[in-house]
Structure 1
């Protein structure tokens, strides 16, 4: 340690004078001892020094109260913080005066003064009076102790602070091993000259594990104690010693409940924090059911409520005091320390006109939400329309537009995405628009609505009552109702305000109005008033505070409502991998838990083994993963932006107060400057993100996925009784009930004779057979390694990533279970349970459960076992699947099936014939497969052990629906092939494999999509051919419980002749006709010109291009990535089926070619004189016509060696049948030339 000498500071005539005045100018870091903010050399500074009569002290104690003594000490707090920084930087010992003493209730000042003189002498103290206190400042600690002793003797009421000499110097040692004994640390520090009072190891606040961090208390009376922060090594360990983090909250006394001091140095009468009476809080007998009472402001809340008006006043004065030293910080979330330390629920409502429409207002609104840490924003008069897309990062937006669909009126609610909430049904009328959500505060469901009521409509009392009846039992609404009433602080009453006041009085609602006007008209003939209010019906235990916000630039100022309760945060999705995985530990843990000597001789043994295996994997994964630390998701604005926001806020308040044109110009300048800076920050961030995008680290695809896949929340669902399901649990149960009714066979179609026939066949005994071949561990390992990596797991949370890390012992156990399943022909119950999530269907009403598509999530090991079994049974069942079925078969695609139909239609057109077709729509084909009928067919195809295995596989299946983070009740499945399973498509193909056929019709099957074609020169005969086949199919469908949706099926005719084919019927219902038909993703028109298909593809390309435009046109994204985006996200849209429609006329191909040329020119920003041919050559992008030829040649080259004879027939170089070329048309076979 090095010693330093500095000029001591002494007290002379109640002023601080340094012997080394010359050092003042040399050391720029030294604190100016004046409390004035003016420069030392200014005349005002000299006048202030001459005028000062009070005792100026460099004390470091934060004295805060509600009187003038507190206001005076706010300046002292700021100066002392600078002084502390100076002492830390320069290591300069300085004489520190004792803390001041604040005495309350002094009636005889002279008598008290004489007692002080008699006790410590006449020239050892100074006094200063305020309206409520007498401030006493002593010169030495001994005199300070004597005064305290005297005040205790006379029972005076006072408060003070700890002596600096009694307060140890606290420091934090980092990077020192937690097992280091505290006594060794003390010895090491004392050897280098420090006197250590205490050493404490710091423990984690949750896990209570020791951290490499120690608190040390150093005696401050030693020499050069601040050199402790210069130490870099202790006990042969590199360490870092620093000051502890400062507490930012204003201290509150637990004795008198006042702010600015603590209980240890308080001699005031006690005040209860609960009831406000003069007794200790620990001895309070108030019932919890009675409302609390603040002992400071007499409000209906505890004294430690941070929304208390006293605390808010002190907090604002404290923040204003330090704003001259640094930018004003955003107001903190209130904390209810008696309940929890989570941030309070905050919402903001703005009636600003047209606020969220343009990007500049969007930046300003986002800055407001982030800077004020607002959880829910209620926006009035949004001017949105149905096509408006408004996005704020970290928030979800729900809007209600005006019913007429034009850009006026409307309301929207903006909610933090991290909160648990549920959207509520919209209230949408001409006179009121409201959008709401439901959250839970203190286990109380609370509905929150943003509302707007246009002023041009006359609202009646009944209309107000009808609106409030839809809000629920507990609610808060906020917005611009254009209602004025003197009861909530308005300047005048208006008729709507009188009606609203009458409604609130009759229904016992509470109106929360801000302290200042919210409407600031620009016209000097109008006066400011309150238009934006909150109306609530909430429990009395919720304490609220309403304040004004001047951040937004609008004729309406925002208001802030703060409630002392914390909303629930969304939990994380359950997963086995919580963070960084230690796979070696995972494997070791599984090896220790797995027991290969288990008995697997009965179905119960298999179920128990599956349960233990699942449990072991879960426990091993959770114990081997280190949870990721919670990251702070809040976005802090730069310092200069926060300063500008504070300046703008003050300028707005000044203009609202004065209405001077000069103040208005200043506000406009600050507003425009803030908008430019916010736009610049957004642009810079966007540029950095684009520059960092790459196809190698998946960042490029993550960005495009966010653009193309808009995440939609499930809105409220309408129940059968007309009410709404709002919560996730209610939605899940509605979906469960819908799916339960779906997973049932069509019993109304099945005939009793058919049911008896099937049941009789299933009751017959099975023949004896040899046992199946055992499964090898290598088969299991191969199936696991080839499983998709990014599939969602089932209920057991086991993913392919976890399964690939299983040790050999666990793989042996899994193989043992698989072989036992084969041996006993029993499928485990746990592997037959599925979690179902619902995905909305595009273009369907979102409030109906029928508008959602179920997606089943099954356990991974059940899929692994199915994949192994499927490989074994495919050779057995392949011959039973008809050649016309192309769905879910190896080397069969939709293009192959459509190619067959296109060749038939081409033959028809060349031969001047008529091709009439029926395209059938099967209703819920996979979900309503009759289990007994499927087993009837499997029994005649599969060996007995596989038949019994699939019988167990289909029986006793159950499901549960997941909506959000809630699961519905468990329900059984009585029909359908297991969705999401590996064998489900094969089982469906087997179930439909014996459909009747006729020699005069062409059949095209792809899973449940069926097409029937008949060709003839006579339209009546062509229709009769199809009709005869439909009659056979109708009987077969009834026998096996399959229902055809006649209204969605289509009758279509392909011909060049101007005739109409007679209608055809299914179940005595005529099939509807259409202008064109869509089959397997391709649009077929009457003359096969592909005009409709290319038109629809161009519309889809335009829509996708608009979504990706800012990426494709950005100068910060390199050309390689732009071309990659085009090839992978735009080109596949039009290349699907180009083997067939690529032979269309040039006018139709040009629709796609023009789009590609425009897109390439947009990507490269090529000037007008660069031709499209040059662009295609330089970028190595083939034209649409060349792509068509390349694709068809590649597809055609595989036809001749295909195992399906129907596909082999397509391998000819001309249309099958080789008709005479009559038309000047190009068919797909011509692309070979």
Structure 2
């Protein structure tokens, strides 16, 4: 730890942050709109820089910056109790700019390999990575004889609101943050002045010294730092995190669940030490067991209550079934997309031009169809794929323009993800999927195309197979052309320019086996020469 170093911000950094303010963000209790800060960034930068640096040197956050207004936002359409509301804090936009500058500094002080299985709030990481990392060890393990997998999907009750600032500061000190910055964060989290506003009514102000306000910039990062030491103890278990969504994956051999159950007990103990409360009613478990002679599985017990074993779960927006099929997920996506098609028809009846309708389609329909697509589309049945493609065909008839096939979106996303993995592989900051890449027997050459090929195999082995070269309506892929040794569809060509060293089946030309792959082709026929 470096106790004597004090963060000093520059006017250029403050000016750049002010210019990046979203003018549509709601103003905080100071009623200073984001548009003013953005348009007057040059005039305000020097003044705010002095205020920020004085605050950092004195390790005191101005009271007006710690004043927040809480807006209750329903978590679901039907509200039955207070727990169905999510408290969103409207803080000063100036304070959010201040927090963003501090957050950037904190990230530079943290080890790059810190908490590799936390996928939230990291560049080049998304829910795709969290879902793929959860399913990959499960699918690989289920290929072995006499095995099954238990997955525990935990739910914390008001996770951000139960943070103990002093306990968090102790962990930040162990991570190497200097004393001055730790004291500033402690003051940021304590003696926070809050009031609740519903409509035009505002409550009296209350002072709080626990928790981290939801809606602030620093709170998510501080929560991930609080939970960075929550890791699996046994090699047969995996703990994957996306903010407060924590999943325990237990790989069971020959009905021996001792390591998995001990892991869950340690997780419960860790939660008590860190003042996090597991909501057992919302915590679910799913068992993936394909053995013919399988028997009933006894449920877990947490704090004296049994955890419900479910046949399917919604995990980070994706429905996962116990048999690892995607029919339920496809049905959910189709239903939501069809609801959006109703509004698309209404806009067409209003005689809006096709470009506007296309923009609406991409933002409201295609975004639903392609959400986390690399994690599930490759293993969809032909019927499910036809169902999804039918949505696109219906939208084409409404808009009267040609739209991107779902298959093409899937291929483009997979290539883009593989490219991101191999770029991070060669950079100073390791990828959070890099540990899976290193499990693959990699080609000896250092050619960029071969590294991308390994990453494509990682995605294919985790998420499914490349689709056939014909779309769901029986037509060939349109506008396919050659880039180097790669034949791609429009939209995918921009992500790759060269992909040598592989035969038609996607295997390295040197003939080295990739043991992690499931049998079957990894790419559309004709993609490689």
TM superposition score normalised by structure 2? 0.79
C-alpha offsets along residues 571-626 of structure 1, whole Å, 9 cap, x if unaligned? xxxxxxxxxxxxxxxxxxxxxxxxxxxxxxxxxxxxxxxxxxxxxxxxxxxxxxxx
1:832 and 2:71 equivalent? no
CA distance in 2, matches of 1:1230, 1:1050: 41
8 Å contact from structure 1 (residues 910, 1220) kept in 2:
no
- The residue number in structure 2 matching 1:1075 is 311
Q: Which runs of 5+ in 2 are unaligned?
A: 438-454, 463-513
**CA-CA distance at 1:1016 after TM superposition:** 3.4
Q: Are the structure 2 counterparts of residues 1001 and 811 from structure 1 closer, same or farther at C-alpha, using a change threshold of 3 Å?
A: same
Aligned to 1:1207: 433
Residue 918 of structure 1: how far off its partner (Å): 0.9
- For residues 1102 and 768 of structure 1, the distance between their equivalents in structure 2, rounded to whole angstroms, comes to 57
Residue 957 (1) aligns with residue 192 (2): yes
The equivalent residue for 2:182 is 947
- Compared CA separation, residues 1182 and 1055, structure 1 to 2 (3 A): farther
Q: Of 139, 150, 155, which residue of structure 2 is paired with 1:921?
A: 155
In the alignment, the residues of structure 2 paired with residue 871 and residue 959 of structure 1 have an alpha-carbon distance, to the nearest angstrom, of 26
1:931: Cα distance to partner?
A: 1.8
SS in 2 for 1:953: helix
Shift of 1:1055: 3.4
Q: Secondary structure at the match of 1:855?
A: strand
Offset, 1:1028: 1.2
User: For residue 264 of structure 2, what is the aligned residue in structure 1?
Assistant: 1030
Distance 1:929 1:811 in 2: 33
Does 2:361 match 1:1126?
A: yes
Paired residues of 1:1142 and 1:1228 also in contact (CA < 8 A): no
Matched, 1:799 2:33: yes
Matched, 1:883 2:122: no
Going from structure 1 to structure 2, the CA distance change for 1:1231 and 1:1151 (only over 3 Å counts) comes to: farther
Cα–Cα, structure 1 residues 1056 and 968, in superposed 2: closer, same or farther, change >3 Å? same
Tell me which of 320, 326, 332 is aligned to 1:1084. 320
**Alpha-carbon distance between aligned partners in 1 of 2:321 and 2:341, rounded to the nearest angstrom:** 26
3-state SS of paired residue (1:1103): helix
The alignment partner of 1:1199 has SS state of: helix
Q: Which shifted more, 1206-1215 or 788-797?
A: 1206-1215
Does the Cα contact within 8 Å between 2:150 and 2:287 map onto a contact in 1? yes
Q: Distance in 2 between matches of 1:1094 and 1:1182?
A: 18
Q: Does 1:1189 align with 2:408?
A: no
CA distance in 2, matches of 1:1229, 1:987: 44
- Indicate if the aligned counterparts of 1:855 and 1:979 stay in contact, CA closer than 8 A: yes
- 1:973 equivalent to 2:199? Answer no
Aligned to 2:284: 1050
> How much does 1:877 deviate?
2.3
8 A contact 2:231–2:239 mirrored in 1: no
C-alpha contact (below 8 Å) 2:165/2:211 kept by paired residues: yes
Per-residue CA deviations over 1:355-391 (Å, capped at 9, x if unaligned) read xxxxxxxxxxxxxxxxxxxxxxxxxxxxxxxxxxxxx
Aligned residue in 2 for 1:517 = none
Q: Is 1:933 equivalent to 2:177 in the alignment?
A: no
Cα deviation, 1:415-444, whole Å, max 9, x if unaligned, reads xxxxxxxxxxxxxxxxxxxxxxxxxxxxxx
TM-score of the superposition, structure 1-length normalised?
A: 0.35
Say which structure, 1 or 2, has more relative contact order (CA 8 Å, 6+ apart): 2
Task: Tell me what 1:812 maps to.
Answer: 46
In the TM superposition, residue 796 of structure 1 has moved relative to its aligned partner by 0.8
- The equivalent of 1:872 in structure 2 is 105
Structure 1: runs of 5+ lacking an equivalent: 1-766, 1165-1178
> CA 1:1116–1:1206 in structure 2 vs 1: closer, same or farther (change >3 Å)?
closer
Aligned runs of 1:645-1044 on 2, under 5 Å? 769-806=3-40, 810-845=44-79, 848-879=81-112, 881-912=114-145, 913-941=147-175, 942-998=177-233, 999-1018=235-254, 1020-1021=255-256, 1023-1044=257-278
Q: 1:1077 Cα deviation (Å)?
A: 1.3
C-alpha separation in 2, matches of 1:1230 and 1:1218: 21
CA distance in 2, matches of 1:1009, 1:1025: 22
Matched-pair contact (CA < 8 Å) for 1:794–1:858: yes
Deviations 1:40-99 (A, max 9, x none): xxxxxxxxxxxxxxxxxxxxxxxxxxxxxxxxxxxxxxxxxxxxxxxxxxxxxxxxxxxx
CA contact under 8 A between 1:833 and 1:958: conserved in structure 2? yes
Gap change, CA 1:1231 and 1:1104, over 3 Å in 2: farther
- The CA distance in 1 between the partners of 2:65 and 2:350, in whole Å, is 52
What is the distance in 2 between the residues matched to 1:1230 and 1:794? 56
Query: Offset of 1:1095 from its aligned partner?
Result: 0.7
Q: Summarize the Cα distance change of 1:1201–1:997 in structure 2 as closer, same or farther, 3 Å threshold.
A: same
Name the SS of the counterpart of 1:804 in structure 2: helix
CA distance in structure 2 between the aligned counterparts of 1:1082 and 1:1229, rounded to whole angstroms? 25
Aligned residues: 447
DSSP-derived class of the 2:40 partner? coil
Q: Note the C-alpha offset of 1:803.
A: 1.2
- The answer to whether the 8 A contact 1:1213-1:1229 is kept is no
Match of 2:488 in 1: none
1:840 Cα deviation from its structure 2 partner: 2.0
How far does residue 902 in structure 1 lie from its aligned partner after superposition? 2.4
Q: How does 1:38-187 map to 2 (within 5 A)?
A: none
Please say if residues 1142 and 1189 of structure 1, whose CA atoms lie closer than 8 Å, have aligned partners that are also in contact.
no
Measured in 1, the distance between the counterparts of 2:270 and 2:211 equals: 18
- The superposition leaves residues 627-653 of structure 1 with CA deviations (integer Å, 9 ceiling, x where unpaired) of xxxxxxxxxxxxxxxxxxxxxxxxxxx
8 Å CA contact retained: 2:162, 2:210: yes
The DSSP-based 3-state class of the residue aligned with 1:896 is: helix
Q: Deviations over 1:1111-1162 (max 9, x none)?
A: 13x2722222222221221110110011121111211111111122122223
- 1:1220–1:997 CA distance, 2 compared to 1 (3 A): closer
User: Partner of 1:959: helix, strand, or coil?
Assistant: strand
Contact 2:152 2:247 in 1 (8 A): yes
Q: Deviations over 1:1159-1179 (max 9, x none)?
A: 222333xxxxxxxxxxxxxx3
> Is residue 457–residue 522 contact of structure 2 (8 Å, CA) maintained in 1?
no
CA distance in 2, matches of 1:890, 1:1232: 30
Q: Please report how far the alpha carbon of residue 1057 of structure 1 lies from its aligned counterpart in structure 2 after TM superposition.
A: 2.6
Between Structure 1 and Structure 2, the one with more helix by share is 2
CA 1:1086–1:783: 2 relative to 1, 3 Å: same
Q: Structure 1 880/824 Cα, relative in aligned 2: closer, same or farther at 3 Å?
A: farther
CA distance in 2, matches of 1:1200, 1:807: 38
Please report how far the alpha carbon of residue 826 of structure 1 lies from its aligned counterpart in structure 2 after TM superposition. Answer: 0.9
CA distance in 1, matches of 2:431, 2:30: 44
RMSD across aligned positions (CA): 2.6
The structure-2 alpha-carbon separation of the partners of 1:993 and 1:858, relative to structure 1 and needing over 3 Å to count, comes to same
